[in-house]
Amino acid sequence: MADLSDPIDRLEAALRAVNEIEANNIIDDAMGQMTPLECAERLITPVLRRLGTGWVDGDVSLSQVYMGGRICEKALERLLPEAKQTYRVRPKVAIAILEDYHNLGARLLLSVLRASGIDPIYYDHQTVTSLISKAKADGIEVLLVSTLMYRSALKVRDLRKEMVKMSISPVLMVGGAPFLFDEELWRVVGADEMGKDTSAAVKAVNRMSEVKV
C-alpha cells in the first residue's frame, strides 16, 4: 500500500479513481508552498508519468490516463491566471494527428503537456504537406505526431523526407498503437524518438528546454 501522506501518492490515487474534487484539493494544498509551474513540474508531472508508465505496463487504463490528464489540465488552467503566470513558451511544441482521424492519443498528449506547464500548438488532423507547412511557419522545435492506424504510421517516412526537402529539423517524436506493437517501427520510418506514453513527450520537451532556453 502506498504511503498516502506523500502528495504525489495521494494525487495518483485520486486520479486513478478519477476523483476531481480530491485531486483539486491536493493540488490546491501544494499551491500553498509553490508556484503553479513548480506544482506542475514537481507534483503533477511525476504523477502523470506514473500513470503513463502504468498504462504501458497494463496496470492503468487509458481512460484513467485521459481523465487524469484532463483534471490536471483544468487545475492548471485555473491556477496560472490566479498567480499571474503563463505556460512555458520554449521550446515551441506542436501536436499533430497524421493522416488519421483518431484523436484520443493527441488529446491525451495535449492535456498532459498542458498539465505539465507546456502549451503546445494543437494542429489536429493533418496531411504530410499541410503539417510541414504549418511546422515551418510556426518555427516548431518539437513535433509530436500521433497515429492509430498502421498506414498513418508509415506516412511518417514521407514526413521525414519532406522535412529534409524543406530544410526544417524539429525533433520528430512519434507515438500511438503501431509504434507500441512494433517497437522498431519508429526507426524504420525515420523518427527521432518514440514515446511509449505521454511522459516521454514531456521529457523530450524538458530536455530541449534545457538546451535551448
Site for another protein in 35-64 (CB under 8 A): 55, 58, 61-64
Q: Which long-range contacts (CB under 8 A, 24 or more apart) does 10-16 make?
A: 11/43, 11/44, 11/47, 12/47, 12/50, 12/51, 15/47, 15/48, 15/51, 15/64, 15/67, 15/68, 15/71, 15/72, 16/51, 16/60, 16/64, 16/68
Nearer to another protein, 79 or 110 (CB): 110
* Interface with another protein: number of residues (CB under 8 A): 28
182 binds another protein (CB under 8 A): yes
Q: Which of 34, 104, 121, 168 binds another protein (CB under 8 A)?
A: 104
The terminus-to-terminus CA distance of the chain in angstroms comes to 40
- Taking the complex as a whole, the smallest distance from the CB of residue 16 to another protein amounts, in Å, to 8
Sign of CA dihedral 130, 131, 133, 138: positive
- Taking the complex as a whole, the smallest distance from the CB of residue 156 to another protein amounts, in Å, to 14
124 binds another protein (CB under 8 A): no
- Taking the complex as a whole, the smallest distance from the CB of residue 179 to another protein amounts, in Å, to 9
Strand partners, 143: 94, 172
Cis omega (within 30 of 0) for bond into 91: yes
Q: What are phi and psi of 98, to 5 degrees?
A: -95, 120
13 binds another protein (CB under 8 A): no
120 binds another protein (CB under 8 A): no
- Taking the complex as a whole, the smallest distance from the CB of residue 102 to another protein amounts, in Å, to 7
Nearer to another protein, 198 or 204 (CB): 198
3-class SS at 104?
helix
3 binds another protein (CB under 8 A): no
Q: Which residues bind another protein (CB under 8 A)?
A: 18, 55, 58, 61-64, 66-67, 99-104, 107, 149-152, 154, 177-178, 181-182, 184-185, 188
